[in-house]
Structure 1
Amino acid sequence: MATTATELVETPEMGKAEPEMTMMEDKLTSLPDEILQYILSFLDTKIAVQTSVVCKRLRYLWISLPVLTIDSESFRYYSSFSNFVVSLLARKDVSISICKFLFDISNPIYSSIQMCIDSHDLFEPLVKGVIHHVVDHGVQHLSLHFPRIVDELPQLFYCQSLKTLELREIIILPKTNLDFLTLTTLHLVKCSFILDGEGTLDPFQCCFNLKNLVISDCRIPSRVKIFVISAPQLTNLTVSRIEHSRNVNPNCKIVLTSTKITSFKFVESHILEFSIPALPFIENVDVDAALADDLFGTVRLAKRKFILHLIEMLRAVGGAEIVALSFETIIMLSKFLDVLHCPSPFSRMKVLKVEVPHDSFTIPGEVITFLSSGSAAEVFKVEYLKKHQGRAQGRLNI
């Protein structure tokens, strides 16, 4: 017997007049299933299921949705949330592949009886069920937001269908490499790495097909001296929102071993020391770096060391034709003019994009000379971008 929405969630009150409901049903009836499913895919899945009571035309479409978005914040009690997830996965039409599955349980919900149960133990069975469903039913894109350890994470390492994975606030245990063999895109947002002892952390060495990597606001243990990014096919790398003391030891070195990088972004982050090989395919560079004034205060010698790290990083990506630098990065360089007497880091730059706070700002002459003097391009152009029109819109939203 076919499943109805009322078996999964409470039916919303229907306050519409009968003629209005008939008119709505007539309009919906004229649309093909594919269009209706596409529209419903933009809704939270709980709401998408509830729409099945609007008219007969929508009654069973929810079982064939190609996108699932499940958020614990939409539920008052754990029992109703758990029942919804279990029933939905059990009754989903398995002949229709799920292209994208977004599962967010960052907002724990409890009943009075469950308050004493650790949230990991409470939610882990649901996470396990979701991961098994992803593996068994050809899901291509998974977003998992669970601020705990995920015991079943290794089950995804060999999932042949999974191409894009976003992990939020996941705790990655010691000696757990992220061995995602088939992934092409990986986003790590507010994840925490754990390391036994001191030394090197190299979590991506077995991500053989990874092309796009985003590391945003992740916490790297202070005992880590070297953080290695060694995915061999990596072409697009974004490191964002990394701050000293909160995310990473300022003396930690990031070692990038991939030589296929075409796009490199280091944004909204404190300056770190990088070791980067020659990048013959680099095209675009975006750097928005800042000094950790709260750590160094007015200690100019310590700040100068990090400015040198910044210049070495720019030199490593100096083959890029399009370079974006933040206003803060330009200002930092202008305050350490003595380090600008070395050769320019850029050899092929054609366009320099600079985010500026107001129209009257211009790049100091010493800085523009330093940045552009090494370029062999016949035409060199500087573009000034207003903050609300340029980088603020262009930054990655995850």
Structure 2
Amino acid sequence: MAGNSRTGKRHKTSHVVEDVASLSDFPDEILHHVLSFVDTKSAVRTGLLSKRWTCLWKDVPVLNFVPKSFLTLASFRKHVYRLLSFRSHRTPVRDVNFDVCGYTRNEAGGHIRKTIGQIIKYASSHSGGGLDHLSITGDSKNVCFSYFANDITTGSHHASLKSMKLEECFLWCVQFDDPVYKSCTTLGFKLLTTLELRKCNLSYFCHMGPFDLIGDLPYLKHLKLLHCYVEWLIISGPQLLDLEIEFLENNCSYEVIAPNLKSLRLWGEHMGEGIDEHISKELSLPALDDANICLKWHKPHCWESDTYLEEQNRAFMNYLGGLHNVESLNLCFDKEGDEDWEEHHFPLNRIKSIVEHQDPPFTRLKTLRIQCAHQQRPPNVPYQVLRYFLEGSPSAEDKFVKLEMLAD
């Protein structure tokens, strides 16, 4: 029995050796690319595989740091010191990624913050043409971006940053257009072209009125706001090409002013409730080509007055008006609750009396897709509404219309 166990282990070890030998035949560039997908701790350990691998980790252009993979913060700081000391200074650093989940705010703002600042300064000074991408993944409000912002924006080493991703960070004292916080904002990222905020909390601004998230990022082209919490938002990007907003964790007001925006994705919008004088959604998108919109809409409650429902309908009409230059429009209606809509409760039926007295605003629309999620039957779109969408475009023969249900 024991002999069979030893034989099995030898057999498994021989396979590992063969796999390492096979990988070792690849050129350095490919192996560096492979190592760019693992954390720095694992990358350094590959140096024990063979002589061929001894120094490969020193030239990896991507640094992925995961502090929680170390038993103590002291051992993580020691790892960082040794890594930066022995890494090849000839190889530029292009991407730096941190995963600081699991640490308290004090830890993230203390030892981790200093270590991250040290890493960023090293990466920026050894990046040749400049650091391209920075990513910080936190753990809800335990990780505040402002703790790292001073280290990121100090000096000129951050100026070339082109892409940034923040996940589960708390931006409670980062106001992007307030000079009071000039030293701890993205104001210095003049060349930033891509920004992704995922599960970030911007609730600090709820009592300050609207703020322009990207107003000081003149070259930003790609923006994602995914599952973020915010009260009141302005997005004004002169060079913005595509925008994705998904499931904002609050029925917030926002205004999007993007003269060059080509692609828009708004998913999980709450358009059927909370519409009042304090909630507005304004869109100014004259160059829009493609829009993919999913609206969550609830069945009217018995206590909602006709006036209140009219406000909802007109808010929806105003929302559609902001899309009037689009070429391809996908509208998905996702009901809240288990019951099917009655015919007159379907959102497009509720606006038919409004649109029949209006001129069709969609002058470039060629493709229209209307979808219903969690419904037992396909949507029945009134003629007046189809006319509202389709008759304003001169190229009627090129139009494509599809009505469909989405599977659960």
| Match of residue 359, structure 2, among 343, 349, 364 | 343
Measure, in 2, the Cα distance between the counterparts of 1:21 and 1:321.
Answer: 55
CA change 1:117–1:343 in 2 (3 A) is: same
Deviates more, 1:355-364 or 1:119-128: 355-364
Measure, in 2, the Cα distance between the counterparts of 1:306 and 1:287.
Answer: 17
- TM-score by length of structure 2 reads 0.76
Deviation at 1:381, TM superposition (A): 0.9
User: CA contact under 8 A between 2:366 and 2:393: conserved in structure 1?
Assistant: yes
Measure, in 2, the Cα distance between the counterparts of 1:59 and 1:321.
Answer: 55
SS in structure 2 of the partner of residue 36 of structure 1? helix
Residues 319-357 of structure 1 show CA distances to partners (whole Å, capped at 9, x for unaligned) of: 111111113289432344333323334221111234455
Aligned twin of 1:150 = 146
Measure, in 2, the Cα distance between the counterparts of 1:48 and 1:238.
Answer: 34
User: CA contact under 8 A between 2:255 and 2:282: conserved in structure 1?
Assistant: yes
| Match of residue 352, structure 1, among 361, 368, 388 | 368
Which amino acid in 2 is paired with 1:372? Answer: L
Say whether 1:238 aligns with 2:237: no
Deviation at 1:31, TM superposition (A): 0.9
CA change 1:50–1:232 in 2 (3 A) is: same
Say whether 1:132 aligns with 2:121: yes
Aligned twin of 2:57 = 62
SS in structure 1 of the partner of residue 324 of structure 2? coil
Aligned twin of 1:4 = none
SS in structure 1 of the partner of residue 334 of structure 2? helix
Deviation at 1:61, TM superposition (A): 1.0
Which amino acid in 2 is paired with 1:275? Answer: E
CA change 1:174–1:73 in 2 (3 A) is: closer
Measure, in 2, the Cα distance between the counterparts of 1:295 and 1:152.
Answer: 46
Deviation at 1:248, TM superposition (A): 4.9
Deviation at 1:233, TM superposition (A): 1.7
Say whether 1:212 aligns with 2:230: no
User: CA contact under 8 A between 2:288 and 2:323: conserved in structure 1?
Assistant: yes
RMSD: 3.3
| Structure 1 gap ranges (5+) | 1-13, 110-115, 393-398
Measure, in 1, the Cα distance between the counterparts of 2:91 and 2:303.
Answer: 58
Equivalent pairs counted in the alignment come to: 359
CA change 1:33–1:273 in 2 (3 A) is: same
Aligned twin of 1:327 = 333
User: CA contact under 8 A between 2:251 and 2:270: conserved in structure 1?
Assistant: no
User: CA contact under 8 A between 1:307 and 1:333: conserved in structure 2?
Assistant: no
Measure, in 2, the Cα distance between the counterparts of 1:331 and 1:69.
Answer: 49
| Structure 2 gap ranges (5+) | 1-8, 178-185, 272-278, 336-344
User: CA contact under 8 A between 2:280 and 2:315: conserved in structure 1?
Assistant: yes
Deviation at 1:301, TM superposition (A): 3.9
Deviation at 1:299, TM superposition (A): 5.2
User: CA contact under 8 A between 2:365 and 2:390: conserved in structure 1?
Assistant: yes
Deviation at 1:71, TM superposition (A): 2.7
Greater fraction of residues in helix:
2
Aligned twin of 1:141 = 133
SS in structure 2 of the partner of residue 107 of structure 1? coil
Q: Which has the larger radius of gyration?
A: 2
Measure, in 1, the Cα distance between the counterparts of 2:95 and 2:371.
Answer: 34
| Match of residue 293, structure 2, among 275, 287, 309 | 287
User: CA contact under 8 A between 1:120 and 1:149: conserved in structure 2?
Assistant: no
Residues 103-130 of structure 1 show CA distances to partners (whole Å, capped at 9, x for unaligned) of: 1112228xxxxxx955422422123223
Deviation at 1:33, TM superposition (A): 0.7
Percent identity of the aligned residues? 23
Measure, in 1, the Cα distance between the counterparts of 2:303 and 2:29.
Answer: 59
CA change 1:79–1:256 in 2 (3 A) is: same
CA change 1:337–1:294 in 2 (3 A) is: closer
Deviation at 1:32, TM superposition (A): 0.6
Aligned twin of 1:188 = 197
Measure, in 2, the Cα distance between the counterparts of 1:314 and 1:201.
Answer: 23
Aligned twin of 1:32 = 27
Deviates more, 1:358-367 or 1:96-105: 358-367
Aligned twin of 1:374 = 392
User: CA contact under 8 A between 2:292 and 2:329: conserved in structure 1?
Assistant: yes
User: CA contact under 8 A between 1:135 and 1:156: conserved in structure 2?
Assistant: no
User: CA contact under 8 A between 1:235 and 1:262: conserved in structure 2?
Assistant: yes
CA change 1:339–1:327 in 2 (3 A) is: same
Residues 68-98 of structure 1 show CA distances to partners (whole Å, capped at 9, x for unaligned) of: 3223443443333333334333433232223
User: CA contact under 8 A between 2:241 and 2:262: conserved in structure 1?
Assistant: yes
CA change 1:95–1:372 in 2 (3 A) is: same
Residues 140-171 of structure 1 show CA distances to partners (whole Å, capped at 9, x for unaligned) of: 01111232243341554552331111112333
Measure, in 2, the Cα distance between the counterparts of 1:19 and 1:166.
Answer: 41
Where do residues 106-121 of structure 1 align in structure 2 (5 Å cutoff)? 106-108=101-103, 118-121=107-110
Where do residues 256-271 of structure 1 align in structure 2 (5 Å cutoff)? 256-271=256-271
Which amino acid in 2 is paired with 1:270? Answer: H
User: CA contact under 8 A between 1:314 and 1:345: conserved in structure 2?
Assistant: no
Measure, in 2, the Cα distance between the counterparts of 1:236 and 1:80.
Answer: 42
User: CA contact under 8 A between 1:25 and 1:54: conserved in structure 2?
Assistant: yes
User: CA contact under 8 A between 2:109 and 2:147: conserved in structure 1?
Assistant: no
Deviation at 1:196, TM superposition (A): 8.3
SS in structure 2 of the partner of residue 108 of structure 1? coil
